[in-house]
Each structure stands twice: as C-alpha cells, then as structure tokens.
Chains A and B, each alone.
Chain A
Amino acid sequence: MLITITTKYLYNVRKALLAVVVASLMAFNSGAQTQNPEFKVKAVFLYNFSRFVEWPAEVFTNATDPFVIGVYGENKFGTSLEEAVKGEKIDQHPIIVKYFTAASEVINCNILYVSSSNKEEIKEVITNVGSKSILTVGDSPVFPKFGGMIRFFTQDDKIRFQINDEAAKAARLKISSKLLSVAQIF
C-alpha cells in the first residue's frame, strides 16, 4: 500500500526517483529500517520552501553564510535531506543540514523541521524559536495551533501542507503567494 502511494507520487517529484523505487522495493522486501519515501518527498519540500519564502536580510551577516535546514528530534529523513540540498545554494548561501536534539539548540537555523508529535515538546521548541526568523515545519495536527508555520499532511495519497501565515509574518518571513496558493491556509 505504502509502496504504491510513494511510487505514484514520486513519479512527479524531483530527484531520487530511482533511489526511492529501489528503497521502496527494499522496504517491501525486507520491511527493515530504510529511507522512508514519505520523508524523501518532505525533504525535497523542505528544501523547496526556501525558494518561496523570503528571509529578512539581517539573518545573514555574510553573503556566504550557510543557509541552515535544521531537524529537531528523531531523523526520519535518513540521508534524504542531505541529498536534496547537495550542491544547492540560496543566493550565495550554501545549504547545509543540522540535526538538533535539544530545544535550546534550535536558534541557529533558517528552516526547522520539528520531528515530534509530542505537544509539550512542540510547544517548547516553538517557544524557543520565538520571534526569530526561522521557518518552522512540522507534521503534528496541532503544530500550527502552537505557532508552527507549516504542517505536512497527507491527502489523496499526496503530501500537502497547511500554512500559518500569521506566524510567519510575526517572524518577518514573507511567504510567497504562490506557496500560499498551493497550501491550505490555517
């Protein structure tokens, strides 16, 4: 079932087509720990968000400062994120991926994926982020409710997302109307 879904949508998603197919087959065959196709898509989406969101200039002190995509909590992406951002740049900022385990660590990044469904944990991370210009992304249905900016969800076998534009605006992030147009507004 899962394989069918991923195969279907991966067909349209950039990169990793072959990898996903192989991975899916492997998952089907062994059922063992492997890269999750759903997160492959999410990894790409995370990277793509960077193209549709405008960060305030003062976020970067140098033109060549890295653009950081952070993952808080359990890494469900495997190496997908690294693969998605490999060699990519935003303006002149090289994109790098960082993994955080403590909520207090999350301040130094531009996009933060909160890999937790724990309400308290989510609250803590978002509180920690505060008004910093960090685009917060999560999976929990309550994530936007607690001030998270983008939430992934599955609809008709496709990964879609919900956007809390108010929260983004509060963090001085300008989300492109185009991104909004393909998203569900919270």
Chain B
Amino acid sequence: MITSAVVLLLMCTAYMVYEYYSFKEIEEKNISILGSVIAANSSAALAFDSPKDANEILNALKTNPHIVSACLYDEDGKIFSTYPLNKTRSTFPQAVLGNGYSFYDNYLEGFQPVMQNEKQLGTLYIKSDLDSMHDQLRHFALIGLILIAGALIIAYLLSNILQKTISQPILELEQLAKVVSMKRDFSVRAHKQGNDEVGALTDAFNQMLAQIETQNQEITTFNLQLENKVTERTLALQQQRDFVETIINSSVDLVAVFDKDLNYIMLNKHADDFYSIKRSEIIGKNILDVFPQTKESGMYSDLKKALNGETVHNLRYKSLILNRYFESFYIPLKDSKNNIYGVLTIAHDITQIMEASEKLEKINDELIKSNRDLEQFAYVASHDLQEPLRKIQTFTQLLGDNFNSKEQLHKYQEKIGMAALRMQNLIQDVLNFSRISKSEDAFVDNDLNAILDSLKVDYELLIRERNVTIINSTLPVIKGITLQLSQLFSNLINNSIKYSSKDPVIEITANKLSETEIKSFIALNPDKSYYKIVFKDNGIGFEPKFSEQIFNIFQRLHGKQTYSGTGIGLALCKKIVENHHGIIYAEGEPGIGATFSIILPA
C-alpha cells in the first residue's frame, strides 16, 4: 500500500517536473508567437511614426492577462510605445538588450525585432508573468493528488475485499500458528473456509497439528517413564554412595583420592581432624596449590610412583603438612581398560608409636653411653684404684720383712701413708665425678667474672708460690649451675698451673659466636646463641693426637712422678660442659702450651 503510494507520488512528481519544463517551453513559444504577431502588426506604426496606432496594437495584449508589460522601441532604440499606456517609461529596459526570450525572476521577458520586408523598423519588448504556468502546474498537482488518493482508496478497498477471500484465512492460520508456538497448545484446529488452495493449506496445517499432538503425548508419556526410572536409579545409587561414604568416613585412617593431575577428588571425614583447611576447600584443588611444601616430599614422589602404576607402601613417613608420622599406602586406581585415572591414598597415623619408639631409642642411646662410661670407669678404677692398694700391700709386706730397721720402717710407713692419701683423693674425685653426672640442679644466671675473681682468691697462695699470671677479658653471664661452672674454671686453671715448667701465664678470653661459627659445629643448635671462652696457657702442651684422649677419665699423659693428678680433672670438665649443653675441645703443642675452648649456650 505504502509502496504503491510512493510509486504514484514519484511518478506524479516526475510528471510534474516534466510538465514544468514543457510548460516553460510552451510558454516561451506562446509569448514568442504573440510577440511575432504584435511585432508584425506594429511595423507600420513604427514606420510611419504613429504611436497612437502602436498603442492600440499593444493594447491588444490585454486579452492575455499574464502579459505584465510590453513596449516598442524605434529604430534608434528609443521607447516608442508602451503597454500599459500609462506605465512609467523608466520601468522598461532603457535599451534593447539582445534578442529572444528568457525566464527571469518568475517572469518571462524578451525582445523581438519588428521587421517589414527584411527591414528592421524597431524592437518589441514583452514581459509576461508565469502565473498561467503555475496555475496549470497547480492544476496538474491537484489532479495528481486526487488520482493518487483515488488509486490508494481503490487499492485499499480492493485489498480489503481480497483479504476476505485470500489473506483472511492465511492471516488466521498465522495467528493460530502463533498461538500454538506460544502456548504450546496443539489441540487447537484451524477453521476451513473453502475448498481452494487456502482450504488445502488449512487441512494440511490441521493434520500437522494432529500429528504433533499425538507425538507430543507419546513423548510426554515416555519422558514420564524415563523420569521415574531415573529417580529410582538415582535413589539406589545414592544409597550405595551413602553406604560407601559412611564406611570411608568411619575409617580412622586418612583416606584421599587424587586424579591424574593430583587434584583432590575425595577426602574422608578424618581429614577434618588433621588439616586446618576445610575439606570442601581442598576438594578439586591440586595438592601443590593446597600444600606447596609437599613438592619435594616423599609423599609427592610416592604419588607420582602410584600414577605410574606402582603400589607404594611407605612404612614410616613424617608428614611435612602435619608434623606427624604415617604409615601410608599409595594405590593406583584403574578403569576397566586398565588405564590409571587416579591414586587412592590411605595414611595411618603412627605418630604415637613413633614418639614412643624415639623415646626408647634416646633412652637406649643414653644407656649405651652410660654403660660405656661405666665400663671405662670400671677398667680405669680397677687399675688406678688398685695401684695405691698394691703399694700399701707391698710396703706392708716390706714393713714385716724389715721390722728391725727403724729407719726402713719409718720410710715404709710414710710410703703407705702417701698411698692411702692418694687413694682418698682418688675416691673423693670419683665421688665428685659421679655426683656431677647425676646433678639436675636448676640453671641460674652466673657472672663468670665473679666466679673467676672468687677462684683467684681461693688460689691466692698457689698463685703466689708458683708466680702465676692470669689475664682475662670481660667474661659473659652464662645460664648454668654455679658450683659446676666454678669447678670447670677451677679444674682448667689448676690444669694449666699443674702442667707448666716455668712461671704459668693463663689468658682467658670470651666472645659471642657468629651464626657461621655456630653452624661449623654440628653439635650446636643453630637456633641458639653461644659464647666461646678460651683458656690459653704457656705450659708443657701436648701432642695434637692426644687432643681427644685427654678428656677421658683417668687418662694421664705423664707419669705421676712428673706431674701429680688423679686423671679425672679434664674428664670432669667435659662432663660439666656436656651437662650445660656445650662442647669443649683442646689444642696443644708440646713445649708451647695448650688452649682449651669451651662453648656454652648464652
């Protein structure tokens, strides 16, 4: 409808344009013809100087109401006569301007020569408005519009009639199809209106609807059955699942399942007792994302092994996640085609057993050490303690044999007394040593400077006699047992004084160990801080090969005759330092001196 209206409108417009140009042409021709007649008629008036006649001739133009003005010029181009007669001459072109007509400003105007027998006698000027043309164009436009309107009305009426017979049933079908597709109601039927093609179409449509309806019902029934079956199966599966889950969750072991990429698929309830992260946050994530510390662990390599098809049984594994011990199984999970799709991990917590075992081991170690000490002690004691006894026995026997010599008797008596004293000293030292082994006194802060000062007072007499020089730097405060630390210092100073050939000089220095220094001693705990106290003397020294031996009980490097001693002093020092969780070592050079270094926790 709109299309046809537009087409009509375009056609009318095109026609109007064409009309406009043809009208212009016709108008120009009309005016030209009129001008020719007037020009021909006015030749005599011009030739014989009769403006009156010229006026009359020009006046004939009034029959054409569109001629606005006209005039005649004489041979010299002066205005000879005008139309309308009384029109001011100055409003006309003051000279003849060319030949022919042209459209100008909604007017048609032009000049035409006035000829008589080939002789030009003057010129005619005519100016016409274009109202007639415009009138006619308006007229045409009106007719055009009326035609369009009429055509459209007829088209509308025709389409109305046609719609009733052709479009109406199709539109109804379309409407019905919409209803069907929107409401999904396939029970509706189209109303058949005739036996034409549209009627056949309606039949086909209805038939199609009936088919769809039947099929729909079948599908619905089938779906319903299927749904019921699915529900049943789901329920059965759910029950089965619940059963398995209950069993797995009831397990006291940690049970986990990983997929091929080591993402957690499943974790049993027991994991909640171990991990600080909730099970729900672990499931689905990669083990390395949840516990990055496992990357270099045995667990990770065991999982990898299992993924390669190996069933791994790790008897004892210390978890990097939990700081607990587990006995764990890594079992590859295979599908029906024997492809590995995951790993089942079962970990049994053996921490308590391990802890008990560790404790036992520790105690065992201690027992072995104690046993060794005892053996050594027994051996040494049997030897050293027997020695003065043997002396006493020998001298007692000699005393009996030489009863007559009073001098000899006195000599042997003295020797027996000396041996008894030595025996007493030995027994006292052994007692001291054993007491230290058992000591479990509380640790207190000890200012080593104070201990040294107190010792200097105790040894005042000896120091003076042997002309001893003790040089010391400021010493630290150490946590420990005061009596033992005092004993340690006393033994070391005593040792230095004892094994010297000249005036003893003892230098005591102390410094805090750096981290690297601490690390260089395996026995030290790198998390603690330590002080190193060094006793350096100018004594007789010792061969470097004896640096370990000298700390053994009853180990003496020299004969009793040269240097007096029980052989317990340095062993006692070692014991005291070990009691304080420290280490002691000695360096020596014969003839130059010895250096004893003690490292104690601050």
Write the residues of chain A forming the contact surface with B, with a CB cutoff of 8 angstroms.
Answer: 9, 11-14, 17, 41, 45, 48, 51-52, 88, 90, 158-161, 176, 178-179, 181-183
Centre residue among B47, B78, B80 by max chain A CB count within 10 A: B47
User: CB distance A12 to B119 under 8 Å?
Assistant: no
Query: Contact string, B99-127, partner A, CB cutoff 8 A, digits 1/0?
Result: 00000000000000000110101000000
User: CB distance A14 to B44 under 8 Å?
Assistant: no
Instruction: Bin chain B's interface residue count.
Output: 20 to 34
With A12-B80, A14-B74 as contacts: A182 and B53 at CB distance below 8 Å: yes
Secondary structure at the B interface, as helix, strand, loop or mixed, is mixed
The reply to whether the CB of B50 lies closer than 8 angstroms to some CB of chain A is yes
Q: Name the distance in Å between B599's Cβ and chain A's nearest Cβ.
A: 152
Centre residue among A9, A45, A179, A181 by max chain B CB count within 10 A: A181
Contacting residues, chain B, for A181 (C-beta < 8 A): 41, 44-45, 53
User: CB distance A17 to B47 under 8 Å?
Assistant: no
Query: Contact string, B539-578, partner A, CB cutoff 8 A, digits 1/0?
Result: 0000000000000000000000000000000000000000
CA distance A45 to B46 in the complex (A): 11
CA distance A159 to B51 in the complex (A): 12
Q: Name the distance in Å between A104's Cβ and chain B's nearest Cβ.
A: 31
CA distance A14 to B51 in the complex (A): 14
User: CB distance B51 to A178 under 8 Å?
Assistant: no
CA distance A54 to B116 in the complex (A): 12
With A14-B74, A178-B41 as contacts: A52 and B47 at CB distance below 8 Å: yes
Contacting residues, chain B, for A9 (C-beta < 8 A): 49
User: CB distance B44 to A41 under 8 Å?
Assistant: no
User: CB distance A182 to B75 under 8 Å?
Assistant: no
User: CB distance A51 to B119 under 8 Å?
Assistant: yes
Within 8 A of A (CB), among B277-313: none
With A51-B117, A51-B119 as contacts: A13 and B49 at CB distance below 8 Å: yes
User: CB distance B44 to A178 under 8 Å?
Assistant: yes
Total contacts A-B at CB 8 Å? 53
- Report the 7 A-B pairs with minimum CB-CB distance, sorted nearest first: A178-B44, A48-B47, A51-B116, A182-B50, A14-B75, A51-B117, A182-B44
Which residue of B40, B41, B44, B49 contacts A158 across the interface (Cβ within 8 Å)? B49
Contacting residues, chain A, for B74 (C-beta < 8 A): 12, 14
Q: Name the distance in Å between B38's Cβ and chain A's nearest Cβ.
A: 12
The reply to whether the CB of B43 lies closer than 8 angstroms to some CB of chain A is yes
Q: Name the distance in Å between B237's Cβ and chain A's nearest Cβ.
A: 126
Residue of A nearest to B54 (CB): A182
Residue of A nearest to B41 (CB): A178
Write the residues of chain B forming the contact surface with A, with a CB cutoff of 8 angstroms.
Answer: 40-41, 43-45, 47-51, 53, 74-76, 78, 80, 116-117, 119, 121
CA distance A135 to B78 in the complex (A): 31
Centre residue among A14, A88, A90 by max chain B CB count within 10 A: A14
Centre residue among B40, B45, B49, B53 by max chain A CB count within 10 A: B49
Contacting residues, chain A, for B53 (C-beta < 8 A): 181-182
User: CB distance B48 to A182 under 8 Å?
Assistant: yes
Secondary structure at the A interface, as helix, strand, loop or mixed, is mixed
User: CB distance B47 to A51 under 8 Å?
Assistant: yes
Centre residue among B43, B48, B53, B78 by max chain A CB count within 10 A: B48
Contacting residues, chain B, for A88 (C-beta < 8 A): 119
User: CB distance A45 to B78 under 8 Å?
Assistant: no
Contacting residues, chain A, for B117 (C-beta < 8 A): 51-52, 90
CA distance A160 to B121 in the complex (A): 18
Contacting residues, chain B, for A182 (C-beta < 8 A): 44-45, 48, 50, 53
CA distance A90 to B116 in the complex (A): 11
Contacting residues, chain A, for B45 (C-beta < 8 A): 181-182
Contacting residues, chain A, for B47 (C-beta < 8 A): 45, 48, 51-52
CA distance A48 to B49 in the complex (A): 11
Residue of A nearest to B45 (CB): A182
User: CB distance B76 to A45 under 8 Å?
Assistant: no
Contacting residues, chain B, for A12 (C-beta < 8 A): 49, 51, 74, 78, 80
User: CB distance B44 to A52 under 8 Å?
Assistant: yes
Contacting residues, chain A, for B40 (C-beta < 8 A): 178
User: CB distance A48 to B48 under 8 Å?
Assistant: yes
Residue of A nearest to B74 (CB): A12
Contacting residues, chain B, for A48 (C-beta < 8 A): 47-48
Q: Name the distance in Å between B508's Cβ and chain A's nearest Cβ.
A: 158
Contacting residues, chain A, for B51 (C-beta < 8 A): 12
CA distance A45 to B74 in the complex (A): 15
User: CB distance A17 to B76 under 8 Å?
Assistant: yes
Residue of A nearest to B50 (CB): A182
Q: Name the distance in Å between B114's Cβ and chain A's nearest Cβ.
A: 11
Centre residue among B44, B53, B76, B119 by max chain A CB count within 10 A: B44
Contacting residues, chain B, for A176 (C-beta < 8 A): 44
CA distance A158 to B45 in the complex (A): 13
User: CB distance A159 to B49 under 8 Å?
Assistant: yes
User: CB distance B49 to A52 under 8 Å?
Assistant: no
Q: Name the distance in Å between B41's Cβ and chain A's nearest Cβ.
A: 6
Q: Name the distance in Å between B74's Cβ and chain A's nearest Cβ.
A: 6
Q: Name the distance in Å between A86's Cβ and chain B's nearest Cβ.
A: 14
Residue of A nearest to B119 (CB): A51
Contacting residues, chain B, for A45 (C-beta < 8 A): 47-48
Contacting residues, chain B, for A179 (C-beta < 8 A): 44, 48
CA distance A58 to B78 in the complex (A): 39
Residue of B nearest to A159 (CB): B49
CA distance A51 to B117 in the complex (A): 6
User: CB distance A178 to B75 under 8 Å?
Assistant: no
Contacting residues, chain A, for B76 (C-beta < 8 A): 14, 17
Residue of B nearest to A179 (CB): B44
Centre residue among B40, B78, B117 by max chain A CB count within 10 A: B117
Contacting residues, chain A, for B80 (C-beta < 8 A): 12
CA distance A183 to B51 in the complex (A): 13
Contacting residues, chain B, for A158 (C-beta < 8 A): 49-50
Show 14 residue pairs from A and B whose CB-CB distance is below 8 angstroms, ordered by the A residue.
Answer: A11-B78, A45-B48, A48-B47, A51-B47, A51-B121, A52-B44, A158-B50, A161-B48, A176-B44, A178-B40, A178-B116, A179-B44, A179-B48, A183-B48
CA distance A159 to B49 in the complex (A): 8
User: CB distance A41 to B116 under 8 Å?
Assistant: no
Residue of B nearest to A41 (CB): B49
CA distance A123 to B525 in the complex (A): 177
CA distance A12 to B72 in the complex (A): 12
CA distance A176 to B42 in the complex (A): 12
Centre residue among A160, A161, A182, A183 by max chain B CB count within 10 A: A182
CA distance A152 to B295 in the complex (A): 144
Besides A12-B51, A51-B119, 14 more A-B contacts (Cβ < 8 Å) are A17-B76, A45-B48, A48-B48, A51-B117, A52-B44, A88-B119, A160-B50, A176-B44, A178-B40, A181-B45, A182-B45, A182-B48, A182-B53, A183-B48
